[in-house]
């Protein structure tokens, strides 16, 4: 059933209007106001039709949720407890999905800019006008500059199979646009881990209950894996030890048996120190090493080249504390490591990840139930037929079209000297932004904003909120939320594939990612492709048309997923018990030709980010890290008032640093480097080490109460990691002054 548009468009005339956003976006699309024909206000929220829908935020939990719908309106959300990983309670973000969907500031109709870029003046237009203006401009750009001067920008605003790739990619392939390399997140560790064990995947997290020792290394489960904590606690109830390595004292670090707090990005040295201890105390698994590894003698030589004195100096971790950690770890029969994603977002991300996996190898902690190395469990996702689902074959020149790394979008949009991967490129003349907010999310935000402000750049934003990026758009077209379209979701911690039923009809005039790009394709003249004419089900079936063992061995079908709501893909258990590793040698490679070919030491490379910084940044006194916080998912949820009240514009700094600088709690402080400056609120804490500050990632510029032009990513580097082309947000240094 369609929601009555008049209930959402009260006070907005049918004719074109010029004004600010507040004058255009209706103020009644909120959770407490029922539209005409909706449920009475006092009707129990939990009574009604139930829809199963997978949370499509970028979080390892990938929760399966149950939504109550009354007369076409979403009223309540809870966890689908039928799925083992779930309870009945979503995280704080998922609990807010009703408010999120019916937020008062949702954009519900197309708009075009009615003033200068960034001025905040908009004119309401029809969808027909929007399609004509967008298609006419894109056709003109293609005729004059070529289709590869059009760049899509998106990432994880919608993690659904259709919403993220299947819908939009068909359009961009059909017109022949520039390719966006979406490598912001995990790819440095992919390279480091595959150089050692041949895989970045790991055992089933449900088996964590069988471990004797759970190690959270650079991972904050309370922010990105909250439902995994109960399985850790079940292991602890049976006597397992909890060890944590993190520069931040996270909630799980506060509960740990041992918490090591290294200086950021010194993990290679720390892993080396632990390996030295294991060797010296004969806590290595000689039988496993002999059977499953190559290069152990070379590793022993490399370990001798690094002293405990140097390790203690570099990491800031007292050696006795490190020895205590290593002893518990080395004496545990079964140990599992959960490696976080933030740690590898450093210039040395691949090298650190490799060192940690080598440590686990010499301890013999692979191939049994209750041990192993969990990083990115993409058994379901990697098994999908992405080429068919995205219709890659309809791109007219897929092998020769240019590529842009999303982390370097500021460089690609440079007004006079655009580059990609360090080489000059032809100018980008149009960006279509969806599922993302690059002015807030991408590093070097000031440079991103300058690029978006170019008079010769045509910027289209498909979103349901006035984000930092949407503020600079030429045309804004309203998107649905994920709940207003059908889809499926794959996990990247557990081994699941889950359904996403359509919960409600689109609000206002919003269109989902497939309908928008499908209809735009018709206006662009590429609607003749059969791949541009299909429905949601066919796109999903295209993705599921795979012979990969994870699906084939489990007999998984589209109809099964729809019926059962979730399925578990097949995987070898115990994981890697066969002793077959996907490396060139077929063994765990403690000496790696891949690392040597990349220009690094083939065993352990001790390079640090500061070695690669320009002198201007290297001399700054503080390393800045910008991890996730539980109340946000990247730049999402800033439209939910009660979530917005959780601080996202604060800086945590060590008590000793604060005392030296004369800074107290709630003081306004300015962080500054050569890329920009931003003002935040100080939080004095022992949660970070001396010389390190923490501010939440991907906060919006315009929401900052201290500084409307300041955000975390004003400061962050867009230089790529050592391998994999990943982002290196945490390899950023800043100065601090009290405002």
pLDDT 10s digits, 358-367? 999 999 999 9
Rounded Cα gap, residues 67 and 306, in angstroms:
56
> What sign does the dihedral 221-225-226-227 (CA atoms) show?
negative
Of the pLDDT bands very low, low, confident and very high (cuts 50, 70, 90), residue 35 is very low
Q: Which of 605, 196, 495 is nearest to 362 (CA)?
A: 196
Tens of pLDDT, residue by residue over 518-527, are 999 999 999 9
Which pLDDT value is given to residue 205? 95
Look at residue 690 in the predicted model and tell me its pLDDT.
97
pLDDT value of position 28: 32
* CB under 8 A, 24+ apart: contacts of 24-28: 24/109, 24/111, 24/122, 24/124, 25/104, 25/105, 25/106, 25/107, 25/108, 25/466, 26/104, 26/108, 26/508, 27/104, 28/104
Alpha carbon 58 to chain centroid distance? 5
Predicted local confidence at residue 181, as pLDDT: 97
Question: Would you say the C-alpha torsion 7, 20, 450, 637 has a positive or negative sign?
Answer: negative
Q: How confident is the model at residue 49 (pLDDT cuts 50, 70, 90)?
A: very high
> Which of 5-19, 266-280, 300-314, 338-352 is predicted with the least confidence, judged by mean pLDDT?
5-19
Contact partners, residue 42, CB within 8 Å, separation at least 6: none
Interior/surface letters 281-310, b for 16+ CB within 10 angstroms, e for the rest: eebbbeebbeebbbbbeebbebbeebeeee
CB 591 within 8 A of CB 213: no
- In the predicted model, is pLDDT for residue 333 greater than 90? yes
Q: Per-residue confidence at 16, pLDDT binned at 50, 70, 90? A: very low
Residues 175-192 have a mean pLDDT of 97
The mean predicted confidence, pLDDT, of the chain is: 92
Query: Does residue 7 carry a pLDDT above 70?
Result: no
Q: Identify the pLDDT of residue 5.
A: 33
Q: In the prediction, which pLDDT does 22 show?
A: 33
How many angstroms separate the CA atoms of 717 and 23, rounded? 37
pLDDT digits (tens, 9 = 90+) for 609-624: 999 999 999 999 999 9
Q: Using pLDDT thresholds of 50, 70 and 90, give the confidence band for residue 214.
A: very high
Cα gap 737→66, rounded to integer Å: 48
Query: 205 in helix, strand or coil?
Result: helix
40 or 207: which leads in pLDDT? 207
**Which residue in 83, 79, 165, 186 sits closest to 492, CA to CA?**
186
Residue 40 confidence (pLDDT): 54
Of 74-83, 500-509, 629-638, the poorest mean pLDDT is in 629-638
1 — pLDDT class (breaks 50, 70, 90)? very low
Give the pLDDT confidence score for residue 722 in this predicted structure.
98
Query: 637-646 burial, b for 16+ CB within 10 Å, e for fewer?
Result: bbbbeebeee
* Residue 316, helix vs strand vs coil: coil
pLDDT score of 640 more than 90: no
pLDDT (tens digit, 9 = 90+) per residue, 114-151? 999 999 999 999 999 999 999 999 999 999 999 999 99
pLDDT in tens, 411-433: 999 999 999 999 999 999 999 99
| Spatial CA neighbour of 275 closest among 249, 251, 314, 301 | 301
pLDDT over 60 (residue 17): no
Closest to 504 (Cα-Cα) out of 42, 139, 105, 76: 76
Name which of 177, 230, 100, 42 is nearest 460 in CA terms: 177
pLDDT of residue 708: 86
DSSP 363-419: TT--SSTT-EEES---TTGGGS-HHHHHTGGG-S-TTTS-EEEGGGHHHHT-SS--E
Query: 268 or 11, which is more confident?
Result: 268
Q: How confident is the model at residue 408 (pLDDT cuts 50, 70, 90)?
A: very high
DSSP string, 497-547: EEEE---SPPPTT-B-HHHHHHHHHHHHT-TTSGGGS--HHHHHHHHT---
How many whole angstroms from its chain centre is CA 68?
28
For residue 676, give the nearest of 620, 625, 715, 731 by alpha carbon: 715
Strand ranges (E), 573-621: 588-589
pLDDT band at 162 (very low <50, low <70, confident <90, very high): very high
Residues 727, 722: Cα–Cα separation, whole Å:
10
Using DSSP, state whether 725 is helix, strand or coil: coil
Q: How far apart are CA 180 and CA 412, in angstroms?
A: 11
What local confidence, expressed as pLDDT, does residue 359 receive? 98
What was the pLDDT predicted at 41? 55
> Is the per-residue pLDDT at 377 higher than 80?
yes
- Which of 714, 676, 721 is closest to 697 using CA atoms? 714
In the three-class reduction of DSSP (H, G, I as helix; E, B as strand; rest coil), residue 261 is classed as coil
Q: Which domains does the chain have, with CATH numbers?
A: 111-174+381-568 (3.40.50.740), 187-375+576-597 (3.40.228.10), 612-738 (2.40.40.20)
């Amino acid at each position: 059933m369609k929601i009555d548009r008049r209930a959402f468009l009260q006070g907005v005339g049918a004719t074109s209007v010029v004004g600010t956003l507040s004058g255009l976006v209706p103020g009644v699309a909120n959770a407490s106001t029922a539209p005409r024909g909706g449920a009475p206000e006092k009707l129990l929220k939990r009574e009604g039709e139930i829809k199963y829908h997978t949370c499509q935020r970028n979080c390892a939990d990938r929760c399966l949720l149950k939504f109550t719908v009354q007369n076409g309106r979403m009223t309540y959300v809870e966890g689908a407890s039928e799925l083992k990983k779930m309870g009945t309670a979503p995280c704080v973000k998922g609990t807010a999905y009703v408010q999120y969907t019916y937020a008062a500031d949702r954009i519900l109709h197309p708009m075009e800019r009615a003033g200068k870029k960034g001025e905040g003046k908009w004119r309401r237009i029809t969808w027909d006008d929007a399609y004509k203006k967008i298609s006419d401009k894109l056709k003109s750009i293609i005729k004059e500059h070529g289709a590869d001067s059009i760049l899509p920008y998106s990432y994880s605003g919608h993690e659904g199979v259709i919403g993220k790739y299947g819908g939009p990619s068909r359009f961009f392939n059909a017109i022949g646009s520039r390719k966006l390399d979406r490598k912001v997140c995990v790819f440095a560790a992919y390279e480091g881990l595959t150089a050692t064990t041949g895989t970045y995947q790991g055992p089933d997290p449900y088996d964590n209950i069988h471990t004797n020792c759970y190690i959270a290394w650079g991972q904050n489960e309370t922010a990105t894996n909250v439902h995994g904590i109960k399985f850790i606690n079940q292991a602890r109830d049976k006597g397992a030890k909890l060890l944590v390595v993190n520069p931040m004292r996270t909630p799980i670090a506060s509960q740990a048996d041992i918490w090591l707090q290294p200086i950021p990005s010194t993990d290679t040295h720390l892993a080396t120190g632990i390996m030295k201890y294991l060797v010296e105390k004969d806590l290595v698994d000689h039988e496993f090493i002999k059977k499953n590894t190559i290069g152990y003698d070379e590793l022993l030589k490399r370990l001798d080249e690094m002293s405990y004195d140097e390790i203690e100096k570099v990491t800031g971790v007292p050696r006795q504390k490190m020895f205590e950690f290593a002893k518990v770890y080395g004496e545990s029969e079964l140990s599992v490591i959960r490696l976080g994603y933030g740690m590898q977002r450093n210039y040395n991300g691949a090298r650190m990840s490799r060192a940690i996996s080598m440590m686990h190898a010499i301890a013999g902690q692979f191939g049994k139930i209750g041990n192993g190395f969990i990083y990115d469990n993409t058994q379901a996702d990697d098994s999908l037929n992405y080429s068919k689902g995205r219709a890659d074959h309809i791109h007219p020149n897929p092998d020769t079209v240019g590529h842009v790394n999303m982390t370097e979008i500021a460089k690609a949009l440079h007004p006079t000297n655009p580059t990609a991967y360090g080489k000059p490129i032809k100018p980008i003349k149009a960006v279509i932004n969806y599922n993302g907010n690059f002015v807030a999310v991408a590093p070097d935000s000031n440079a991103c904003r300058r690029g978006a402000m170019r008079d010769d750049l045509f910027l289209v934003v498909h979103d349901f909120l006035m984000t930092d990026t949407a503020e600079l758009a030429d045309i804004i077209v309203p998107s649905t939320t994920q709940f207003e379209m059908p889809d499926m979701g794959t996990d990247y911690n557990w081994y699941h594939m889950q359904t996403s039923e359509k919960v409600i009809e689109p609000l206002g005039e919003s269109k989902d990612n497939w309908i928008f790009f499908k209809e735009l394709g018709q206006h662009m003249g590429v609607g003749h492709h059969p791949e541009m004419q299909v429905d949601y089900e066919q796109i999903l079936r295209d993705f599921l048309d795979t012979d990969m063992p994870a699906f084939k061995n489990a007999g998984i079908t589209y109809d099964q997923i729809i019926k059962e709501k979730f399925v578990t893909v097949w995987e070898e258990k115990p994981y890697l018990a066969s002793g077959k590793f996907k490396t060139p040698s077929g063994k765990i490679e403690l000496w790696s030709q891949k690392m040597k070919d990349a220009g690094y030491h083939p065993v352990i490379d001790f390079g640090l980010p500061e070695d690669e910084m320009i002198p201007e940044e290297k001399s700054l006194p503080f390393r800045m890290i910008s991890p996730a916080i539980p109340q946000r998912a990247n730049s999402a949820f800033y439209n939910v008032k009660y979530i917005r009240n959780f601080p996202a514009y604060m800086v945590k700094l060590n008590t000793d640093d604060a005392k030296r600088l004369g800074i107290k709690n709630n003081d306004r402080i300015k962080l500054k480097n050569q890329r920009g400056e931003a003002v935040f609120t100080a939080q004095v804490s022992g949660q970070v080490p001396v010389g390190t500050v923490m501010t939440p990632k991907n906060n919006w510029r315009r929401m900052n109460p201290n500084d409307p032009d300041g955000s975390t990513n004003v400061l962050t580097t867009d230089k790529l990691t050592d391998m994999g082309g990943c982002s290196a947000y945490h390899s950023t240094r800043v100065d601090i002054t009290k405002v």
